[in-house]
Every structure is written in structure tokens, then in C-alpha cells.
Amino acid sequence: MTTALITGANRGLGRHFATELLARGATVYAAAREPATIDLPGVRPLALDITDPDAVKAAAALAADVDLLINNAGVSTGSTLLGDLAGVRAEMDVNFWGTLSMVRAFAPVLAANGGGAVVNVASALSWFAAPGAGAYAVSKAANWNMSNALRLELAGQGTRVTSVHLGLADTDMAAGLDGPKTDPAVVVRRTLDAVAAGDLEVVVDDWSAMVKASLAEDPRAFYARFLPA
């Protein structure tokens, strides 16, 4: 039976991950900065700020039976690289450093439990930048290549690493944004099915697939939509 820990599990994709995993018979640690905001019956609430090294260490000691780590917690401040530097640092602290801290702390736990798997929720913005989302794009690009590097470093202990990429999901984080939004339950099901199949990467929607394919082309064609004529 799977025992999973999900960061940012009090809402959005994290809550959907917890719901789906419970339906699949898993034991679920639902982690959030404020565990009182976790209202899903059947989970084990866990207080966790992934930017706090002591909290991360304590979580790894408490949840010593985990064999699936889902790094879902993330932040989007709307910061640009030439704007509020504190916002840029906040996004890197959560989306890159916090996620890496979780993997470093839980790698021995996963090894002790047979290898298991790590899921890192990235973004289509791992592969491009858009106006007003410079900090987020950079942090998610780092998150994506972190998954690639960790996949190699953890292979020896039998731990699989899956990176998840999507455009907009219909969650609170995307509430003020225009564009097609994927049902978060669909994102979660596709991700968990991909992990079960041993896939290295989940490209959730057509938009993300288009962005990834564009990396092989001249970037002028893709960025023409953002740059002055």
C-alpha cells in the first residue's frame, strides 16, 4: 500500500492529490503551513513550511513510512526579475529551494522504504517566460531541471522522479487568470497514472505540449506574441 506525503495539501491540486490517493487506498500525510486548514477526512494533517529546514527535518522523522513524496507546494507572487527582488527570492525559496529541501530530507526515507517515487509539480512555464511571470518562470525552470538531475542522483537507490507540467488548472491560484483551465482532478489522475506507469514526465495539456515542442524551433516565432513588432 502506498504511503504518500503531499505538500500544500490544504487546497488546489494538493487537496485533489490527497482525495484521489485516499480513493486509491493510500495512507496520506497532508502537509500545510496551517494544518487547521486541512479539512479532508481520512488524512494525517502535518504542519510543514518547506522553507523551514527544521520543519522539513521534523516531517521526515515523523513520516518515516512514506514511499511517495508529492512536492506540490508552490507560490506565485507575480514578480518580475527587474521588479521586487523579495518576490523573486520568495518564489525561488519555495519552488526550488523548498522543494529540493524536501527531496534531500526524504531521500533516505524513500530508500529505506524500497525506493519509492518523487513527484515535482512544475509548469508549462518551466519552458517559457511570459510578461508578469518572470520570477515564477525562472523558479519552475529550475524545478524542472532539478527533477532531471535528481532522477540521475536517486536512480541508484531505486527512487523514480516524475516532473509534472501544465498550463492553468482550475484552482485558486489561477482564479484571476484568463484562458482554458484543466480540471484539477484530471491533472491529478493523469499524474498518478503516469507515476504508476514509471513515466519520467507528465505533460498534462495541449498548451504545455505545444510549448515544449516549440523549444526545438527558432524562439522568435514563439515570442513574437509578446515582443513589439
Q: Residue 101 is which amino acid?
A: S
Strand arrangement of the beta sheet that strand 3-6 belongs to:
44-47, 27-32, 3-6, 68-71, 117-121, 160-165, 201-203
What are the phi and psi torsion angles at 169 (to 5°)? -105, 150
Residue 98: helix, strand or coil by DSSP? Answer: helix
Residue 108: helix, strand or coil by DSSP? Answer: helix
In contact, 94 and 74? CB cutoff 8 Å: yes
Residues belonging to the active site:
136, 140
CA 129 to CA 138: how far, in whole Å?
8
45 sits in which H/E element = strand 44-47
Widest Cα–Cα separation across the chain: 56
What DSSP state is assigned to residue 172? G
